[in-house]
């Protein structure tokens, strides 16, 4: 009887301790909700972290660095134990990350690396170089660059220079295409091939559109484009708008690449105005980050699969790289609809 009573007492004590234990807090900061992908990333992560029993503070910063800094400050004050940070400018958060580290908060860089700081513990992303490789290989295959004589007219775009990913995307694609440019099979009429010249700050659709407008205005001799290398969907949208406004039709539309499989871009793939996109299933990345957060908070080994690639200027950040895949008119249904990422209705075109 005595034994039973003490067992009961222990159980009651344990139960009350358990209910008094607040759930660990995880802060998640995303760059902006103006782009579809980040909304999906945020929503997926919040849902999965909450399912795992964590309290989540999810914030979007409207692409404004100062806003992101103050959101992180608030999370530190609010008692977050882990921060998941998808930065706007990867090198601009050093001070606030140092503050977080002083408070023993672990930091995971999400999708974009946090650079020039020792205060980043892990990095979870898709293989960014591979994203570019997929785009380059797609163009190589569709134009049959290995065998065709050419020359083919190209223009190139790159992503935001403050986003560490942008150079990886560009490097991956250009490593495939550059030999053809050097041999003269690819012609870039504007002469603009350097990253600095082709980069679009903030990944802005309207700025990509304006640059494409300018390039096309320069084509006084009626040069027709065969392909435009776009690193992502927000730029692809601007490029496509510009090409349509300049009179390109489905009969002569250049190959335009992309990344993210945003709804509007997938619809353009269906209509024929975009050749491909790179699918980065945000559900996979979110699930990976949840696993990492869980391991950190339980003091277990955090799973990583790359300990060499991502040098942030201060250290090599242990990373987990998910696999990106290409999507085009032939496989989008299987990838995006059958997998439940989108409904058929969402992708309906008129």
Q: Does 111 bind ligand BGC (CB under 6 A)?
A: yes
Of residues 35 and 198, the one with the C-beta less far from ligand BGC:
35
d(CA 41, CA 47): 10
The interface with ligand BGC within residues 264-293 (CB under 6 A) comprises: 280
Q: Of residues 230, 242, 259, 268, which one binds ligand BGC by CB under 6 A? A: 259
Binding mask 6-45 for ligand BGC (x = CB under 6 A): -----------------------------x-x--------
Of residues 117 and 128, the one with the C-beta less far from ligand BGC:
128
| Residues 119, 107 contacting (CB under 8 angstroms) | yes
Q: Does 63 bind ligand BGC (CB under 6 A)?
A: no
Minimal distance, residue 282 CB to ligand BGC, in Å: 9
Q: Does 127 bind ligand BGC (CB under 6 A)?
A: no
- DSSP characters for 267-324? HHHHHTS---EEE--HHHHHHHHHHHHHHHHTTPPPP-SBSSS-B-SS-BPPEEEEPP
Minimal distance, residue 126 CB to ligand BGC, in Å: 7
9 CB-contact burial (10 Å; exposed 0-12 / middle 13-18 / buried 19+): exposed
| Residues 91, 162 contacting (CB under 8 angstroms) | yes
Residue with CB nearest ligand BGC? 232
Cβ within 8 Å of residue 192, ≥6 positions away: 155, 156, 198, 215
Helices 233-245 + 263-271 axis angle, to 10: 40
Of residues 232 and 268, the one with the C-beta less far from ligand BGC:
232
| Residues 145, 132 contacting (CB under 8 angstroms) | no
d(CA 305, CA 44): 22
Of residues 24 and 268, the one with the C-beta less far from ligand BGC:
268
Rounded CA Rg of the chain:
23
Of residues 92 and 145, the one with the C-beta less far from ligand BGC:
92
Binding mask 300-329 for ligand BGC (x = CB under 6 A): ------------------------------
Q: Does 112 bind ligand BGC (CB under 6 A)?
A: yes
Of residues 112 and 185, the one with the C-beta less far from ligand BGC:
112
Minimal distance, residue 233 CB to ligand BGC, in Å: 6
Q: Does 165 bind ligand BGC (CB under 6 A)?
A: yes
Of residues 186 and 229, the one with the C-beta less far from ligand BGC:
229
Q: Of residues 81, 155, 226, 260, which one binds ligand BGC by CB under 6 A? A: 260
| Residues 327, 277 contacting (CB under 8 angstroms) | yes
Q: Does 155 bind ligand BGC (CB under 6 A)?
A: no
Of residues 24 and 115, the one with the C-beta less far from ligand BGC:
115
Minimal distance, residue 142 CB to ligand BGC, in Å: 21
d(CA 215, CA 240): 13
d(CA 350, CA 210): 26
- Tell me the pairing of strands 325-327 and 277-279: antiparallel
Residue 151 sits at the vertex; the CA angle it makes with 147 and 156, to the nearest 5 degrees, is: 105
Provide the token pair at 116: 């020039």
Residue 109 has phi, psi (to 5 degrees) of -80, 130
| Residues 180, 153 contacting (CB under 8 angstroms) | no
Total residues at interface with ligand BGC (CB under 6 A): 12
Of residues 212 and 261, the one with the C-beta less far from ligand BGC:
261
The interface with ligand BGC within residues 193-232 (CB under 6 A) comprises: 203, 232
Contacting residues toward ligand BGC, per CB under 6 A: 35, 37, 111-112, 163, 165, 203, 232, 234, 259-260, 280
């Amino acid at each position: 009887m005595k034994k039973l009573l003490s067992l009961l007492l222990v159980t009651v004590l344990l139960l009350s301790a358990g209910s008094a234990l607040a759930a660990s807090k995880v802060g998640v900061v995303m760059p902006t909700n103006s782009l579809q992908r980040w909304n999906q990333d945020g929503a997926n992560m919040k849902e999965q972290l909450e399912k795992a029993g964590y309290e989540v503070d999810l914030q979007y910063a409207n692409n404004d660095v100062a806003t992101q800094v103050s959101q992180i400050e608030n999370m530190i004050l609010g008692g977050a134990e882990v921060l998941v940070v998808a930065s706007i400018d990867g090198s601009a958060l050093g001070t606030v990350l140092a503050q977080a580290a002083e408070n023993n908060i672990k930091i995971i860089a999400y999708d974009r690396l946090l650079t020039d700081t020792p205060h980043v513990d892990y990095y979870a992303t898709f293989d960014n170089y591979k994203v570019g490789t997929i785009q380059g290989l797609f163009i190589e295959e569709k134009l049959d660059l290995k065998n065709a004589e050419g020359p083919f007219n190209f223009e190139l775009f790159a992503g935001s220079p403050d986003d560490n990913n942008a150079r990886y995307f560009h490097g991956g694609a250009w490593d495939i295409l550059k030999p053809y440019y050097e041999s003269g099979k690819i012609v870039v009429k504007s002469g603009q091939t350097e990253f600095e010249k082709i980069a679009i700050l903030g990944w802005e659709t309207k700025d990509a559109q304006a640059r494409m407008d300018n390039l096309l205005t320069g084509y006084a001799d009626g040069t027709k484009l065969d392909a435009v290398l776009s690193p992502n969907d927000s730029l692809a949208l601007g490029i496509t708008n510009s090409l349509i406004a300049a009179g390109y039709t489905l009969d002569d539309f250049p190959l335009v690449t992309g990344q993210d499989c945003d709804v509007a871009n997938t619809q353009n793939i269906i209509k024929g105005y975009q050749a491909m996109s790179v699918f980065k299933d945000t559900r996979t990345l979110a699930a990976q980050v949840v696993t990492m957060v869980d391991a950190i908070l339980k003091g277990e080994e955090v799973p990583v699969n790359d300990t060499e690639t991502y040098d942030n200027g201060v250290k090599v950040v242990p990373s987990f790289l998910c696999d990106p895949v290409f999507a085009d008119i032939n496989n989008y249904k299987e990838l995006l609809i059958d997998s439940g990422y989108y409904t058929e209705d969402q992708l309906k075109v008129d």
